[in-house]
Amino acid sequence: MLDRPPVFDDREDAVLTDAVAVLIESERALAELEATRIVHFAMAMRVALERSQHRPRAIQEREMALRSIAAEIGVALRWNDRTVQRRLGEALQIVDDFPSTLQALADGRISARHAAVIRDAGVDLDDPVTRGAFESRVIERAATDTVAGTRAFARALVEELHPVSISERFAHAEQQRRVWIDEDVDGMARLGVLDGAAKIRAMYDRLTRQARAIRAVPRPESTGDDPDAVDDRRTIDQVRADLLCDLVLTGQPTLDPTADTLPGGLGAIRAHVSVVIPALTAAGASDRGASIDGLSPIDADTARRLLAGSPAWDRVVTHPLTGTVLAVDRYRPSPAIQRFVRARDVHCRFPGCRRPARACEIDHSEEHARGGPTARTNLACLCTRHHTLKTETPWTARQRPDGSLEWTSPLGRSVTDRPERYVAFVPEPDPPPF
């Protein structure tokens, strides 16, 4: 007999329903208040700019008007004046360059964090018409998606609309690569690295794979009197940090508990990343960039190097209008359905989750034990957290023919997660015929 999800008390459901309704309304009210605050920050910024015009001498002297107003507001709000000065500039930018975003915020359709994402991503688009088209499309997405999902969509859309290819922008940005340190408290500090997205994501993936390999080593039942026995209780974050320090300071992990269980030990573990490359870029006919793990754009040269060094790759056929995946094939054979589902989904299909599909489990939307077929129309990528949520709680997911997942919460609230759209990168002028 199959296990059934637990039945919750109706009174508890009523309390939870009321709480969710109040949270929705408060989120809308906060968005309206934030829009009002942005307008008044922008008004203060205009006053600062007007006063600066009457100080035509040194740049520092002209900035005094802005600093003074920022300090005035900071004292009144109990904010740091540097934070206020930054918010003044951001507010004026939204009012002047992103009026539709401000209106959507005032209407409660999006949150302040969604608005910040639209501003941060769209600031690279100088042409007002292009920026307006970008803004309209991202607002539509933001109204039904999380901040993380909106950010990924906005970044991809910028790559589609930007007049300058990412290869040209990357050549300039690469000159800014650096390592820095931030002092912290309690004897701790932060080390930061700025470099190409492919390298940074590969570094993080390798550290994660090594950390998981260490945590997979069985713990001893009892250390007893054995002085060599190790009971490793570190979290995966702690293991990643320790591995990074070891690799930088000594060139290799100080301890390798996987040596007896993993061929080659930790040193044999290599980084894995998923790269999507437009066909014309792969062929060298275009310089438009690719994306890595469905999140970060990368330049064409890096994408082609990764393609050339890959032992296997998938050809993804997408719909010319919607961008959704139609088919996947590979020159080196592998399970076709798994390839299709991972290529279509890009990441975990629970609303708001961005865990890459390659790190997810492939789940039957309708349970196999209840007659659900093992077919691409009934399979979706779910991370362990959300796979467990679907299995162990009353949350359900119904898959539509287009690959959309309609999730239903225990309170009956429905939300639809649609397959990620693969951006159709605009080709360079007059590409060679194929």
**Interval 240-297: pLDDT, tens:** 999 999 999 988 888 888 888 888 888 888 888 788 888 888 888 887 768 787 667 8
Q: What six digits make up the tokens of 333? A: 């054979």
Domain boundary among the residues 164, 187, 210 is at 164
Residue 340 has pLDDT above 60, yes or no: yes
Comparing 16-30, 47-61, 348-362, 418-432, the range with the smallest average pLDDT is: 418-432
Q: Is 2 inside any structural domain?
A: no
Rounded to the nearest 10°, the torsion over CA 193, 198, 203, 207 is 130
> What would the two tokens of residue 393 be?
């709680």
- Confidence class for position 230, pLDDT limits 50, 70, 90: low
pLDDT digits (tens, 9 = 90+) for 76-96: 999 999 999 999 999 999 999
Does residue 253 lie in a domain region? Answer: yes
Domain check: are 158 and 190 in the same one?
A: no
Where do runs of H (alpha helix) occur along 53-111? 59-77, 81-97, 99-106
Note whether 306 and 283 are within 8 A (CB): no
Can you tell me the distance from the alpha carbon of 388 to that of 348, in angstroms, rounded to the nearest whole number? 13
Distances, alpha carbon 221 to alpha carbons 216, 226, 230, 255, 261, in Å: 15, 12, 10, 20, 18
Check whether residue 34 and residue 159 sit in a common domain: yes
Is the dihedral angle over the CA atoms 174, 179, 183, 186 positive or is it negative? positive
Domain count, the chain: 3
My answer on whether 141 and 195 are in the same domain is: no
Q: How far apart are CA 410 and CA 390, in angstroms?
A: 11
Same domain, 153 and 215: no
Range of the domain at 40: 22-164
- The reported pLDDT for the residue numbered 217 is 86
pLDDT of amino acid 331: 39
Residues 262 and 138 grouped into a single domain? no
Residues 182 and 158 in one domain: no
Mark whether 26 and 158 lie in a shared domain: yes
- The residues facing 433 across adjacent strands are none
Please indicate, yes or no, if residue 306 is contained in any of the structural domains: no
- According to DSSP, the residues that pair with 398 across neighbouring strands are 406
For residue 291, what is the DSSP state?
E
| Residue 232 falls in which region: left (phi positive, over 0), alpha (psi -120 to 50) or beta | beta
Does a structural domain hold residue 423? no
Instruction: Name the least confident of 42-56, 116-130, 347-361.
Output: 42-56
Q: In 3-state terms, what secondary structure has residue 382?
A: strand
Establish if 350 belongs to a structural domain: yes
Please give the pLDDT value at position 263: 83
Instruction: Kindly report, residue by residue over 402-411, the tens digit of the pLDDT.
Output: 899 999 999 9
* Structural contact between residues 289 and 297, judged by C-beta atoms closer than 8 angstroms: yes
Burial 194-205 (b: 16+ CB within 10 A, else e): eebbbeebbeeb
Same domain for 185 and 118: no
133 and 59 in one domain? yes
Average pLDDT, the chain: 85
Q: Is residue 7 part of a domain?
A: no
239 pLDDT above the threshold of 70? yes
Q: Examine the domain organization and report whether 41 and 98 are in the same domain.
A: yes
Instruction: Tell me if 290 sits within 8 A of 275, measured CB to CB.
Output: yes
Residues across the chain: 434
Same domain, 151 and 198: no
pLDDT at residue 228, as a whole number: 56
Same domain, 150 and 200: no
Alpha helices in 174-235, H assignment, sequence order: 197-215
Q: Output the pLDDT for position 261.
A: 81
Q: Tell whether the model's pLDDT for residue 327 goes beyond 90.
A: no
For residues 403 and 325, give the distance between their C-alpha atoms in angstroms, rounded to a whole number: 9
Which pLDDT score, from 0 to 100, does residue 321 have? Answer: 66
Q: 407 - beta bridge partners? A: 397, 415
Q: Angle at which helices 99-106 and 128-142 pack, to 10 degrees?
A: 20
C-alpha span between 69 and 50 (Å, rounded) = 12
**Which is more confidently placed, 53 or 78?**
78
